[in-house]
Chains A and B, each alone.
Chain A
Amino acid sequence: MSLLERESAGVVMTPDNIRTKHMPLLVNLGIALAALAVAAAVVFGASIGNWVLVVALGVVFYLVGLQIVAGRIEGRRAARDRMWKTLIYAACVLAILPLASVVWTLVSKGASRLDGDFFGSSMNNIGARDPDGGAYHAIIGTLEQVGIATLIAVPLGVLGAIYLVEYGRGKFATTVRFFVDVMTGIPSIVAGLFILSFWVLIVSPWFNNGTPRFSGFAASLALTVLMLPTIVRSTEEMLRLVPGPLREGAYALGVPQWKTILKVVLPTALPGIVTGVMLAVARAAGETAPVLLVAGGAASINFDPFAGGQQSLSLFVYQQAGDASRYAPARAWTAALTLVAIVLVLTIAAKLLARRTSLSK
């Protein structure tokens, strides 16, 4: 008698029959329908809710029924497997639902103002009774502010990450890493206040005959503060994933460290770095509070990011959504749709670019 047989007699490790019965699909569907029917009867019978509750309750009943019936037909192990699989699919659908809902809402409500006027004009001289008006100035503002912020944050962030991974040893590196982590948690309004008190109120008067002024550039600086930690952390993780033997392989060829980093380590990590940068860009493009605080928003087109108030798409959405005019909500929806589309296009473009430069034939 083996140890297994003696200690756990109930476990059959070498079954004589290796075939198993499968529950037919029809039974499965039957259980689903029955569960829905029972749920409907319970909910509408007691009149405690609408069809949403019916579906939710139906799923619970379905899982329980499935477990019981499948357990009878297929055995306990197979039934448990089936139940968990169903649960995972349900969770997946649940996770996708809000996303699909957001996209559907944006498209259906934002489509009404997808016209030339929206993309070709600003809100200058548009009163509460005017149905037209557009977000041209806001699109310009978003592109300029996020563009400048990216131009500042990407080199700084990537260089910082390279320092942390390739050179940073000891106390200083630990301190830098700690403060980057702390920065990740900075609320955007705090970043806006920081730039307001530092750049707008202290530095900008030097360039403007002593008078403080709003500017798109100030918004860029605030967005930079928000983008930096995301870029540093994601780049750092990606650089750490580059195998050490790859670096050693380059060193063994007599390649200096800086060139190894530039030509071997960075290209290897590039796709991941691009993903991290795009996450940061998407976050920055959606920030409203800092732009409101330091760029002020504007109704007219301002191409110059260094002088005067500037609008941005997210701020435009915020202002139009709260506007009393009956034409404002449509503008807000279309602007939100535009913002999502811009971020999507940028992300896809960046990924294609990163794939093109790396070798994949």
Chain B
Amino acid sequence: MAKRIEASNVSSYYGSFKAIDSVSMTVEPKTITALIGPSGCGKSTFLRSINRMHEVLPNARIEGSLTIDDQNIYDPDVDVTAVRRLIGMVFQRPNPFPTMSIYENAVAGLKLNGVKKKSVLDDAAEQSLKAANLWNEVKDRLGRPGAGLSGGQQQRLCIARTIAVEPQVVLMDEPCSALDPISTLAIEDLMFKLKDRFTIIIVTHNMQQAARVSDKTGFFSIDKTGDPGRLIEYDDTQKIFSNPTEKKTEDYITGRFG
């Protein structure tokens, strides 16, 4: 079950530094949303605010409200681990657990959350690795260390690990920035496939990628260093890349900025 996400006036802080300023956007279920913008404009911070990963850093806090199907995830009685089970995340650098095998990595989320039955785990490992387009490459060496795979394979392993716990939303923070074009293509294909089941939000610096994969695109920007990042424009990807409303968006997309 994919879910709809609604952010209204979200501002995130690192201590006294305001990283993003009242961002509001609605993400429909089973869509891919791309967040683009120059470095340091708060895309990743906003993404990390959606699954409460922002607050892992010391002194980080957030204002405003973020709802997932009308439940505010920042309500005081919300269990943060439950939120993260609902909203999975794939990071910029592949981070498979170094002490675990490929198999154990794929089902790490299930195992660490208390699933013990071997048949369930075996099934989940195969399903998620197949969904991540990795099964054929690793099915004969599931017991080998996950960290021994190539960069692209590691990233797909991390995606498999994320979808194995069946979240409703998958956040991706520049998942292809460390990968070669072939691995990137594999992951983009994968995103199209996953769209049937999950809501996907992806941060990317690659505008072709945003144009290729996403249904909607949000453009973030800052006026100058030290200012908080703002959501400048949020619209259909088609419109952003062909006929943006804001001058800033057009400048960025045509390469006249940053």
Contacts and interface: CB of A to CB of B under 8 A. Distances in A.
Interface of A: 169, 243, 245-256, 259-260, 263-264, 267-268, 270, 358-361
Interface in B125-173: 143-145, 158, 161-162, 165
B100 interface: yes
13 contacts: A245-B95, A248-B89, A249-B91, A249-B158, A250-B108, A252-B89, A252-B91, A253-B88, A254-B109, A254-B165, A264-B112, A359-B101, A359-B145
Counting contact residues on chain B (CB < 8 A from A), the size range is 20 to 34
A interface, by DSSP: helix, strand, loop or mixed? helix
A174 to B, nearest CB: 14
Interface in B78-117: 81-86, 88-89, 91, 93, 95-101, 108-109, 112-113
B97 A250 contact: yes
A248 B91 contact: yes
Contacts of A263: 112
Nearest to A361: B144
B84 A245 contact: no
Contacts, number: 80
Nearest to B167: A254
Given A253-B112, A259-B112, A360-B145, A246 B162 contact: no
Contacts of B93: 245
A359 B109 contact: no
B113 A359 contact: no
B53 interface: yes
Given A245-B93, A361-B144, A361-B145, A251 B99 contact: no
B56 interface: yes
A253 B85 contact: yes
A253 B108 contact: yes
Interface of B: 51, 53, 56, 58, 81-86, 88-89, 91, 93, 95-101, 108-109, 112-113, 143-145, 158, 161-162, 165
B97 to A, nearest CB: 6
A251 B144 contact: no
Contacts of A270: 99
A252 B99 contact: no
Contacts of B86: 254
Contact of A252 (B58, B88, B113, B145): B88
Contacts of B89: 248, 252
Given A243-B95, A259-B112, A361-B145, A252 B162 contact: yes
Contacts of B158: 249
A252 B97 contact: no
Contacts of B109: 253-255
A264 B97 contact: yes
B99 A256 contact: no
Contact of A254 (B58, B82, B100): B82
Contact of B84 (A243, A253, A259, A361): A253
Contacts of B85: 253-254
Given A248-B56, A254-B165, A359 B95 contact: no
B192 to A, nearest CB: 22
A268 B98 contact: yes
Contacts of A250: 97, 108, 112
B99 A267 contact: yes
A361 B88 CA distance: 30
A245 B91 contact: yes
A361 B99 CA distance: 11
